[in-house]
Amino acid sequence: MRLVFLGSGAFGLPTLRSLEAEHALLAVVSQPDRPAGRARKNTPTPVSEWAMAESKELIRPENVNAPEVVEMIRGLRPDALVVIAFGQKIGEPLLEDLPAFNLHASLLPAYRGAAPINRAMIDGCRETGVSVIELAQRMDAGDVHATRTLAIDPLETAGELHDRLAELGPEAVASVLQGLAQGTTSGVVQDETLVCQAPKLSRAESSVDFSDDASRIRDRIHGLTPWPGCDIDLDGQRLRVLRVRVSEALAEDVPPGTLLPDHRIACGAGALEFLEVQPIGKRPMPFKAYLNGRRLEPGVLARRHG
């Protein structure tokens, strides 16, 4: 098929590579370069980087709905648009009489919005997936044409789950495009009574309350990793917690956040074993290696940072 791909984030790269191999990829549309990093240097999106490396026609509009941009894309005469993590709302003039499908990182209608992977993990979901939907004028509200499910590993982070979900995209999108080519594609209307939202994360969320249940704290830590991260204060030092394991048994009656003799952290219910941490300004390391350098005494408290 003749396709135009619209995307910016790395989540779309596995599908983009698959489309390039199996179809006629007419153009790639991505966000303009933006300042990034400490130097605030203008940096292309992951999708733009791929398109330039593969010498694909690349369009980077400030506004994809500008009349000249719409005319440029429609002038390519694509059979369909594939949209993944693009970052701009696509208006009706571009979509008129043109099939457009979006890959979303949740099992819709659950977790519509900007942070579906993180929110599903924070909420303690044990399963998630991806959905291929028709593009609609309401965010993530289009008819669902395909879903693929995936179990969430209790030890994985949102960054790792992001990469695993991205790998479900190529086959799911391919199945919808095949149906479109054969004239057999059909979508299922989303049940609006089952909708829940996945709002964008903020740095204000990057901490935990150790009086909560250990499993809920684990879900929050992993759901916030790698961004915005989960920061605590442990014996006066700010520490980013990257990966933990739940330990249900807690023999001692101590305040939540207490460092136990076996180096677990007491919680409101159960305890946590810190597996991987990152002192601010340093590299990630096993918590055991961090303890070797700090020699913390049992009884010190881990507290919410800030």
d(CA 52, CA 87): 19
Domain that includes residue 174, residue range: 2-194
Q: What is the CATH number of the domain that holds 241?
A: 3.10.25.10
Please give the pLDDT value at position 35. Answer: 87
d(CA 94, CA 80): 11
Q: Are 118 and 198 in contact (CB under 8 A)?
A: yes
Considering the domain architecture, whether residues 167 and 66 belong to the same structural domain is answered as yes
Residue that finishes a domain, picked among 194, 218, 236: 194
Beta bridge partners of 234: 237, 302
Please give the pLDDT value at position 214. Answer: 95
Sheet holding 24-29, edge to edge: 58-59, 24-29, 2-7, 80-84, 100-104, 127-134, 144-151
Residue 294: pLDDT band by 50, 70, 90 thresholds? confident
Q: What is the CATH number of the domain that holds 29?
A: 3.40.50.170
Residue 253: pLDDT band by 50, 70, 90 thresholds? confident
Q: Are 300 and 235 in contact (CB under 8 A)?
A: yes
The residues, ordered by sequence, that sit 6+ positions from 41 with a Cβ below 8 Å of its Cβ are 35
Residue 251: pLDDT band by 50, 70, 90 thresholds? low
pLDDT above 70 (res 219): yes
Tell me which residue of 278, 152, 282 sits closest to 206, measured CA to CA: 278
Considering the domain architecture, whether residues 168 and 219 belong to the same structural domain is answered as no
Q: Are 210 and 256 in contact (CB under 8 A)?
A: yes
d(CA 294, CA 306): 21
Considering the domain architecture, whether residues 32 and 180 belong to the same structural domain is answered as yes
Q: Are 98 and 182 in contact (CB under 8 A)?
A: no
pLDDT digits (tens, 9 = 90+) for 85-109: 999 999 999 999 999 999 999 999 9
Phi then psi dihedrals of residue 140, to 5 deg: 60, 30
Beta bridge partners of 98: none
Beta bridge partners of 278: 240
Please give the pLDDT value at position 293. Answer: 84
pLDDT above 70 (res 185): yes
d(CA 75, CA 61): 16
Considering the domain architecture, whether residues 122 and 170 belong to the same structural domain is answered as yes
Q: Are 276 and 243 in contact (CB under 8 A)?
A: yes
pLDDT digits (tens, 9 = 90+) for 139-148: 999 999 999 9
Rounded to an integer, the average pLDDT of 247-265 is 86
Residue 305: pLDDT band by 50, 70, 90 thresholds? confident
Considering the domain architecture, whether residues 141 and 208 belong to the same structural domain is answered as no
Q: Are 290 and 235 in contact (CB under 8 A)?
A: no
Considering the domain architecture, whether residues 189 and 265 belong to the same structural domain is answered as no
- Structurally, the chain folds into a number of domains equal to 2
Rounded to an integer, the average pLDDT of 204-232 is 96
Q: Are 239 and 277 in contact (CB under 8 A)?
A: yes
Please give the pLDDT value at position 177. Answer: 98
More confident residue, 280 or 306: 280
Please give the pLDDT value at position 284. Answer: 97
Residue that finishes a domain, picked among 143, 168, 194: 194
Residue that finishes a domain, picked among 176, 194, 212: 194
pLDDT above 90 (res 236): no
Q: How far is CA 206 from CA 202, 222, 238, in A?
A: 8, 11, 12
Considering the domain architecture, whether residues 213 and 180 belong to the same structural domain is answered as no
Considering the domain architecture, whether residues 70 and 20 belong to the same structural domain is answered as yes
Amino acid 239 reads L
Please give the pLDDT value at position 280. Answer: 87
Considering the domain architecture, whether residues 169 and 273 belong to the same structural domain is answered as no
Considering the domain architecture, whether residues 220 and 115 belong to the same structural domain is answered as no
pTM above 0.75, yes or no: yes
Residue 37: pLDDT band by 50, 70, 90 thresholds? confident
Tell me which residue of 130, 136, 90 sits closest to 110, measured CA to CA: 130
| Choice among 59-73, 104-118, 120-134, 255-269 with the minimum mean pLDDT | 255-269
